[in-house]
Amino acid sequence: MRINKFLAQCGVASRRACDKLIEDGKVRVNGRPAEPGMNVEEGDRVEVGGRPVSVKKNEYYLLHKPKGYLSTVSDDKGRKTVMDILGSGVGRVYPVGRLDYDSEGLLILTTDGELAQHLTHPSNEVPKTYLVKVEGRLTESDLNPVRSGIEIEGGYVTKKCRAHIVETNREYTKVEMVLREGKNREIRKMFAAIGKEVSLLKRTKVGELSLRGLERGAFRKLTPAEVEYLKSL
């Protein structure tokens, strides 16, 4: 098995991040520095940062993230993270992708670095559904620049996406969006580009996996069928 895949299955990190660990000389196999692309066999002793690692059964969780929590394992400023919700009863899992501090909704956490990379790598274009609430009234035609790709802060032009209005009145408009990329604060920047401020942003689905029945701040283990579904996306 390739060394980066082995490390990902050990829950060390994604394959790409494991490649960086190898390049930095932090991985050793049978006492010698690992080389990119090398294979490891059963019985090989693999160490990362001086600590032995081995393939273990991965854990998978689905969390309904509230606003006011960071999608990280820790924070040097002492702010609350999603790990504070999970508590000490859950092992060392890692968030897949990000939901920013002011956003809420579906967040997957796992020890499976390979699945994390699969769900987040841009080439796989895994669809993610969001409910977006903006101030004021919008029409379907107002969303055309958002759907077709729009230049946002920093000069980046977003990819095409699906977007339609689910509710509108004088005070606000709710829009359902399906994106296949995940730039930092991308949705907020897309609406800023058409002069609208996002007041609520909630991820409701990854593929067809949804938050159904899961209250804000609650979490549960994914079923084996759900894990296999995510791997198939």
Q: Read off the pLDDT band of 14 (50, 70, 90).
A: confident
Residue 13: closest CA among 85, 115, 87, 83: 115
Residue after which a domain boundary falls, among 35, 53, 71: 53
Query: Which position among 100, 102, 112, 142 bears the catalytic label?
Result: 100
Are residues 133 and 177 located together in one domain of the fold? yes
Are residues 114 and 134 located together in one domain of the fold? no
Are residues 218 and 105 located together in one domain of the fold? yes
Domain at 17, CATH number: 3.10.290.10
Residue after which a domain boundary falls, among 30, 53, 76: 53
Are residues 149 and 172 located together in one domain of the fold? yes
Are residues 134 and 196 located together in one domain of the fold? yes
Q: What is the pLDDT of residues 164-205, one digit of tens each?
A: 999 999 999 999 999 999 888 999 999 999 999 999 999 999
- Residue 150's domain comprises 127-206
Q: Looking at the 3D structure of the chain, how many domains does it have?
A: 3
**80 — phi, psi (to 5°)?**
-70, 140
pTM given for the model? 0.79
Average pLDDT, stretch 206-227? 96
Q: 217 in the Ramachandran plot: left (φ > 0), alpha (ψ -120 to 50) or beta?
A: left
Helix (H) or strand (E) run with residue 107 in it: strand 104-110
Angle between helices 224-232 and 113-120 (to 10 degrees): 50
Are residues 135 and 198 located together in one domain of the fold? yes
Domain at 98, CATH number: 3.30.70.580
Tokens, residue 160: 């095409």
Q: DSSP assignment, residue 62?
A: E
The pLDDT score that the predictor gives to residue 113 is 84
Task: Kindly state the greatest CA–CA separation across the chain.
Answer: 67
Residue 209: closest CA among 232, 226, 223: 226
100 classed as catalytic:
yes
Are residues 226 and 118 located together in one domain of the fold? yes
Domain at 131, CATH number: 3.30.70.1560
Q: What is the pLDDT of residues 32-56, one digit of tens each?
A: 999 999 999 988 999 999 999 987 7
Are residues 46 and 114 located together in one domain of the fold? no
